[in-house]
Chains A and B, each alone.
Chain A
Amino acid sequence: MPALEKVRYRPVPVRDLFLEMKNLSELMIDLAYSAALFNDRELAEDILELENRVDTLDYLLEMTIMIAARDAHDAEALAGVSAVASAADKISDAAADIAAIVTQNIGVHPIVSQVFEKVEERLMQAKVSADSSLVGKRVGELDLAARMGVDIIALRRDKDWIINPQKTEHIRSGDVLIVRGVHSGIKEFKELAEQKSRRRGD
């Protein structure tokens, strides 16, 4: 269990805190399902750390809105912000619960992953082969969202996961990528990563 950090108030715009909570919590859901279905312990542990991060953000947000409320009207509006932020926190908790299935060695029945891959059309894991045309490319340069309607939400290199990799990150041979998006796109992307078929002219 990671040590909990002491949360000291520092001035950060509520909007920034909230957006980070919202984005992280949504990302964590997809990562958590991936960790559970591929029984990936390192990824699951990273999700538990992200959960901590969201908790810290939530504390900071609560402190900030307490300072911001000057009158009853402010308090009413900010209570709404607090409720929504705590919902984002709850979502990240749920993602951490899913990750804990892996870290507590409970696991999900292996046949589930097989079936899941057939019916879940939005999430996929692929290993980049040495021959893949992706090797050496920067994440941003692939323009995946526009070209195939997918994006890379995490990348494993050796033992470490890089969550939400930056546009400037280079893809290397042997990287394991978690990709989410539309079904046709993730299928196309998997072929590209594993270089199962020759590239169709583009």
Chain B
Amino acid sequence: MSQQNQARFEEIVERLVELKDTSELMIDLAYSSLLLKSRELAEEVQRLEEHVDKLHTDFELLVLQSEFKKEEAKGFLGLIRLGVATEKIADAAAQISEVVLRGIEPHPVLQLSIREAEETVAYVPVAKDSPLANKTLVEARIPEETGMWILAIRRGNKSIRPKPDSKIEVGDVLIASGYAEGVEDLKKLSKR
């Protein structure tokens, strides 16, 4: 395989991983929107669904534009199908968030864990002088300091699934859930 093709392949797979991560983040957020009765989170899921549609189209175009030999066609079909399945997962997440957006009172059966209804969701931008800036989530110790749990990190038009080694950047919006008093603590940490 030529070097150019190798680079293209890496780009294709990176897109696929972004699709996969985003669709799984959507599932997490969709269930959270249900649990917390949060229209805002449900709307976030809908927004991500549009983003995934776009990512998916870009992904398919990239796959189709790559040069492949006849005998490689199957492997490329497999890639396309992976993309389609991932898009279906994103659709399913959107379907869950629609229950919230339609104003259906979530049945107690759907209250999935102990982290419950008194909790709220907060959107907190990270300012330039914040002690959180340029730290990883582990280093930032947000749950320990504020009692807030990070659901997602919004960066530009992307949303990132939080991992312990995810780095917080200036301008990020932290989407977090927890009790109201924690929200104030998190806002203080993010400003300064």
Interface, chain A (partner B; CB < 8 A): 14-15, 18-19, 22, 26, 29, 32-33, 36, 76-81, 83-84, 86-88, 90-91, 93-95, 97-98, 100-101, 105-112, 115-116, 119-122, 149, 182-184
Contacts and interface: CB of A to CB of B under 8 A. Distances in A.
Contacts, number: 128
Contacts of B14: 115, 119
A197 to B, nearest CB: 20
A98 B82 contact: yes
Interface residues of B, number: 46
B61 interface: no
Q: Which of B14, B106, B109 has the most CB of A within 10 A?
A: B109
A131 B91 CA distance: 45
Contacts of A108: 75, 78-79, 82
A79 B104 contact: yes
30 contacts: A18-B110, A22-B31, A26-B27, A36-B82, A76-B104, A77-B104, A79-B104, A80-B106, A81-B109, A83-B95, A83-B104, A86-B95, A87-B93, A87-B95, A90-B91, A93-B88, A97-B81, A97-B84, A97-B85, A105-B74, A106-B78, A106-B81, A107-B74, A107-B75, A108-B75, A109-B9, A111-B6, A115-B9, A116-B13, A119-B10
Contacts of A18: 109-110
Q: Which of B20, B27, B84, B89 has the most CB of A within 10 A?
A: B89
Closest 8 CB pairs of A and B: A109-B75, A108-B78, A80-B104, A90-B92, A115-B13, A94-B88, A87-B95, A87-B92
B112 A112 contact: no
A42 to B, nearest CB: 18
Contacts of A116: 13, 16-17
Interface string B7-19: 0011011101100
Contacts of B85: 32, 94-95, 97-98
A91 B76 CA distance: 23
Contacts of A110: 75
A127 B77 CA distance: 29
Contacts of A183: 163, 165
Contact of A83 (B77, B99, B105): B99
A97 B81 CA distance: 8
Contacts of B13: 112, 115-116, 119
